[in-house]
Amino acid sequence: MLKILSILLLLIDVDSSLIIKCEYKKHDWKIIGSLYQCAVINEVSITLPETFIENVTRIQQTDMTENDVQAFTAKYKNINFIPYGLIESFPNLTAINIASCHLKEIHQKDIQNITNLKVLKLKDNDIEMIEKDLFKFNPNWLYIKLKSNKIKEIHPAVFKNLKKLHELDIKGNICCDTEEAISEMDV
């Protein structure tokens, strides 16, 4: 029985292209004000790196288009890797919030096209490693929140390139639970 079930699950996994179903709505992001966002409502599952978004559909009738979407929010999904094509789907994207999604990895190539983001929030995930050049192509980013992940260590130069950084939150990680650890970082 279990075997049949797992084969079924495997088939579903292989078959599923990444279709994002959104509720389009205004949301107050507090730090940067109200943004029009795509809040993911379907059970997306991203278990492989470089998974491209194939299609974005929305659940309600609205005059707003993908070009009006400023934020992408996913919570309590199974998103192990940053989806590819976010900026192609939402050219005006200024904020990303992927929270409690078992996100395991984030790499420079995942975010190199997202140059004009203001806020990246990845709270409550399973990220263990931050590569030294992660933010090489993102010098304009303002807020980065990596609270409550599993980051073991962070190279002191990781954030150096972020010339406009207002706020960095890396509390609740193995590397950085003390004030000293944070102040040693060259931000």
Binding site for ligand NAG (CB under 6 A): 55, 57, 67, 84-85, 91-92, 110, 113
Q: How far is the CB of 185 from ligand NAG (least distance, A)?
A: 26
The helix (H) or strand (E) run that includes residue 86 is helix 86-89
Least distance between ligand NAG and beta carbon 156 (Å):
26
* DSSP per-residue codes, 134-175: TTTT-TT--EEE--SS---B--TTTTTT-TT--EEE--SSSS
Which of 60/183 has CB closer to ligand NAG? 60
- 148, two tokens: 């409550």
| Closest CB to ligand NAG among residues 113, 140 | 113
> Closest by alpha carbon to 141, among 173, 170, 112?
112
**Nearest-CB residue for ligand NAG:** 67
Specify the residue, 113 or 178, whose C-beta has the smaller distance to ligand NAG: 113
Beta carbon of residue 49, minimum distance to ligand NAG (angstroms, whole number): 10
17 and 56 in contact (C-beta within 8 Å)? no
Cβ 172 to ligand NAG shortest distance, Å = 27
CA-based nearest residue to 146, from 113, 112, 185:
185
Instruction: Output the smallest distance, CB 38 to ligand NAG, in A.
Output: 14
Q: Which is nearer to ligand NAG, 109 or 152 (CB)?
A: 109
Residue 81 β-bridge partners = 105
Q: What share of the chain is helix, strand, coil (3-state, %, to 5)?
A: 15, 30, 55
Pick the closer one to ligand NAG by CB: 105 or 110. Answer: 110
Identify which of 131, 180, 138, 145 has the alpha carbon closest to the alpha carbon of residue 163: 138
CB of 115 to ligand NAG, least distance (A): 10
Nearer to ligand NAG, 114 or 146 (CB): 114
Token duo for residue 91: 């050219």
